Amino acid sequence: MRIAIGSDHAGFDQKAPIAEHLRAQGHEVIDLGPTSAERCDYPDYADKVARMVARGDADRGVLICGTGLGISMTADKVPGIRATPVQTVQFAQLAREHNNANVIGLSGRFVPLETNLQIVDTFLATEFAGGRHTARVEKIMREDDPSFPGVGDDFGL
């Protein structure tokens, strides 16, 4: 698989070992930075990775910041991206099976590297389950369309 990877300063230390781990498995890894642990802004790297996945130039994206939160929030705003923070292997599996996530945000400060390696392996190995989840994922994606008027607030209550 072709994997785009990026971080901020708080995720920097885990970026290279994760990239190496994936390369050792035969994946093509494109490291979009940063190139040093100097303080930087996670939205810049989230944007680079997310746009590469959205363009189809990478199959999946892996992002690492302190919590995995801000970097996922940013990536998820790019049309075509389904990004989520993931802190456990089970959530990595469900993010793929139920939500067809194409980008994950890892925590470099609160989750050890060994766990993040297992999370990334699961994220890459797990297929979308389809079935009842297909229409729900389509409903996620309609939010990308600025002309989508929303479902309204009349739920018959």
Task: Indicate if 98 belongs to the active site.
Answer: yes
CB of residue 5 vs ligand RB5: minimum separation in angstroms?
Answer: 15
Neighbours of 10 (CB within 10 A): 22
Q: Which amino acid is at 81?
A: I
Segment interacting with ligand RB5 (CB under 6 A) among 30-38, 59-67, 119-127, 130-138: 59-67
User: If binding is defined by CB under 6 A, does position 12 make contact with ligand RB5?
Assistant: no
Which is nearest to 105 in space by CA: 46, 151, 24, 55?
Answer: 46
- Binding-residue pattern over the window 67 to 106 for ligand RB5, x denoting contact by CB under 6 A: x-xx------------------------------------
DSSP-based three-state secondary structure for 24: helix
Strands (E), the chain: 2-7, 28-31, 60-65, 83-85, 103-107
Binding piece for ligand RB5, criterion CB under 6 A, among 27-35, 66-74, 93-101, 145-153: 66-74
Query: Are the CB atoms for 21 and 115 separated by under 8 Å?
Result: no
Give residues in contact with ligand RB5 (CB under 6 A).
Answer: 8, 10, 42, 65-67, 69-70
List active site positions. Answer: 65, 98
